[in-house]
């Protein structure tokens, strides 16, 4: 039986919220006696719609946060024997909450609703490093010190890299959004696919099987329907990002799809390279945490990314694909 060396009962709440969903877990911290390693005993899980305040607004974000957290509380077992259902620390890791203005407003909501004795509000990128450390520790093959020099690459609907070095210098690269950046992201891959279709139409070429598959994926019959589809309000970002699945699926047998994917992988590698240069990691060992649907769901893409980094002489010492980003929020809540 694991001995809990902490004389006080500690309960924490972690929330991972983005542009499509919100996940909330409530957990107890189980500390191994005489060891730095800890485990999280998850007591309740909840989920709801998006909670990115910049994309859905604060009212909708707060409503979905409340739904997910209430669901997690409702799943908790009977704790009457402990007589302790209060949450000591909560960490809300939310997309669109990178600035102090958003963080202060979210923290005010949390305090007004007595969410926890202490609430941390942070964006959804920084905690991924801690999620990677925790998940690897559960596999028994991680040395947390190896993550002192680290880069986190997120490639989902959007893209961003962040990192830190042993001197605790932290930087970010990318994350400018679909109009200014997000190179290598699902949206940029899907958009490049649609742009190729437009160019083929201008040349009077018949749509290829790859291009027909893209149209079918978004429910269109011809390229002439792309204008009303793309220039609607709000922009169909999620649908365009989903087209990345079509591009990746055709990359082995369609030259256009192959080039789009190759360019995207180059952009991903360049994000890592930019972060490494700013952190002065070019000649140091570093660990790489990966997150987002493009890398989480496609091992072949990760393999190609590793080859691209090798060509830049930037092969990481360790690579971990984050399975549950919420472990990052829970780890930060536990630390605080």
pLDDT digits (tens, 9 = 90+) for 119-159: 999 988 989 999 998 888 877 654 555 788 999 999 988 89
Average pLDDT over residues 61-68: 95
Average pLDDT over residues 172-181: 88
Question: Which of 21-35, 104-118, 136-150, 216-230 is predicted least confidently?
Answer: 136-150
Residue 137 is predicted with a pLDDT of: 81
Mean of pLDDT over the chain: 88
| C-alpha to C-alpha distance for 159 and 181, rounded to whole angstroms | 8
User: Tokens standing for 162?
Assistant: 């962040």
| Domain ranges, residue 50 | 11-124
One domain for residues 111 and 203: no
One domain for residues 158 and 306: yes
Could you tell me the CATH number of the domain that includes residue 97?
Answer: 3.30.420.40
Over 90: is that where the pLDDT of 196 sits?
A: yes
Please identify, among 76, 93, 124, the residue that sits at the C-terminal boundary of a domain: 124
pLDDT band (50, 70, 90) for residue 83:
very low
User: Tokens standing for 277?
Assistant: 């240069």
The answer to whether position 129 is within a domain reads: no
Overall number of domains in the chain: 2
pLDDT digits (tens, 9 = 90+) for 249-285: 999 999 999 999 999 999 999 999 999 999 988 777 8
One domain for residues 277 and 153: yes
Residue 263 is predicted with a pLDDT of: 97
Over 60: is that where the pLDDT of 296 sits?
A: yes
For 108, the 3-state DSSP assignment is helix
The answer to whether position 175 is within a domain reads: yes
| C-alpha to C-alpha distance for 85 and 88, rounded to whole angstroms | 9
Over 80: is that where the pLDDT of 6 sits?
A: no
Strand-pairing partners, residue 54, are none
One domain for residues 173 and 220: yes
The answer to whether position 86 is within a domain reads: yes
| C-alpha to C-alpha distance for 151 and 126, rounded to whole angstroms | 10
pLDDT digits (tens, 9 = 90+) for 10-42: 899 999 998 778 999 999 987 665 555 667 889
| C-alpha to C-alpha distance for 246 and 318, rounded to whole angstroms | 30
Q: What is the pTM of this model?
A: 0.84
Asked if 150 and 287 touch (Cβ cutoff 8 Å), the reply is yes
User: Cα-flanking dihedrals φ and ψ of residue 43, to 5°?
Assistant: -100, -30
| C-alpha to C-alpha distance for 11 and 221, rounded to whole angstroms | 53
Residue 18 is predicted with a pLDDT of: 85
Sheet strands side by side (includes 287-291): 170-174, 159-164, 150-155, 287-291, 318-321
| C-alpha to C-alpha distance for 151 and 320, rounded to whole angstroms | 11
Residue 2 is predicted with a pLDDT of: 41
Residue 143 is predicted with a pLDDT of: 53
């Amino acid at each position: 039986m694991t001995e809990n060396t902490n004389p006080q009962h500690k309960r924490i709440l972690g929330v991972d919220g983005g542009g499509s969903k919100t996940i909330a877990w409530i957990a107890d911290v189980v500390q191994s006696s005489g060891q730095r390693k800890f485990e999280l005993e998850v007591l309740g899980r909840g989920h709801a719609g998006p909670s990115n305040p910049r994309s859905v607004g604060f009212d909708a974000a707060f409503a979905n946060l409340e739904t997910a957290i209430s669901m997690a509380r409702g799943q908790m077992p009977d704790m009457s024997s402990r007589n302790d259902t209060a949450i000591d620390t909560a960490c809300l890791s939310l997309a669109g909450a990178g600035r102090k203005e958003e963080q202060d407003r979210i923290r005010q909501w949390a305090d007004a609703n007595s969410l926890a004795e202490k609430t941390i509000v942070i964006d959804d990128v920084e905690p991924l490093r801690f999620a990677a450390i925790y998940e690897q520790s559960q596999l028994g093959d991680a040395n947390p010190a190896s993550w002192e020099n680290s880069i986190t690459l997120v490639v989902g609907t959007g893209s961003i890299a962040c990192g830190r070095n042993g001197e605790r210098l932290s930087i970010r690269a990318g994350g400018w959004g679909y109009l200014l950046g997000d190179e290598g992201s699902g949206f940029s891959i899907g958009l490049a696919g649609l742009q190729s279709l437009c160019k083929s139409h201008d040349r009077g070429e018949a749509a290829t099987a790859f291009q027909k598959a893209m149209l079918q994926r978004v429910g269109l019959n011809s390229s002439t329907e792309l204008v009303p589809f793309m220039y609607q309000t709000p922009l169909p970002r999620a649908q365009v990002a989903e087209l990345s699945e079509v591009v990746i699926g055709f990359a082995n047998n369609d030259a256009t799809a192959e080039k789009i994917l190759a360019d995207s992988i180059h952009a991903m590698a360049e994000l890592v390279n930019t972060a490494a240069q700013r952190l002065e990691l070019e000649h140091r060992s570093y660990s790489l945490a990966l997150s987002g649907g493009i890398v989480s769901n496609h091992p072949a893409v990760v393999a190609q990314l590793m080859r691209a980094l090798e060509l830049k002489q930037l092969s990481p010492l360790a690579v971990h694909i984050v399975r549950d980003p919420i472990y990052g929020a829970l780890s930060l809540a536990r630390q605080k």
